Amino acid sequence: MRKFFISASVLSFILMFSYCSSSKKAAKAAVVTYDAGVMAVISEKCTPCHIPDKGGRVKPLNTYDTVRANIDDIIRRISLNPGEKGFMPFKHDKLSDSTIAVFKQWKEDGLREK
């Protein structure tokens, strides 16, 4: 009977601390920021239309403040399918799921600039 209690105690101890593993904490994705994620996507995928100094004549998305203020509309429009009213990027292929996820994760992470 004593061996049973010792075995159960050891097993409980192992299970309890397996959920506190530092490797699980390290596996969490890095926080997305405007400077380290979103800005690069906008520079690559939204130019020249939404970048005024490159000839854009529509709503500018060239600063942290303008992108932050419009994040819900940006996510809505890039999540649409080609042919749907308001789809972005206009006259281009739909952004990849991983690219769209950058914007969603940025919003979820608190819209940090840096």
Residue boundaries of the structural domains of the chain? 34-108
Verify cis geometry, omega within 30 degrees of 0, for the bond prior to 52: no
For the stretch 57-87, pLDDT in tens is: 789 999 999 999 999 999 999 999 999 999 9
Above pLDDT 90, what percent of the chain?
65
**Rounded-to-integer distance, Cα 19 and Cα 31, Å:** 22
What's the mean pLDDT in 83-102?
97
User: Of 38, 29, 60, 26, which Cα lies nearest the Cα of 114?
Assistant: 38
For the stretch 19-43, pLDDT in tens is: 554 444 445 669 999 999 999 999 9
**Tokens at 100, concatenated:** 């769209």
**Rounded-to-integer distance, Cα 87 and Cα 82, Å:** 6
Verify cis geometry, omega within 30 degrees of 0, for the bond prior to 48: yes
pTM over 0.85? The answer is no
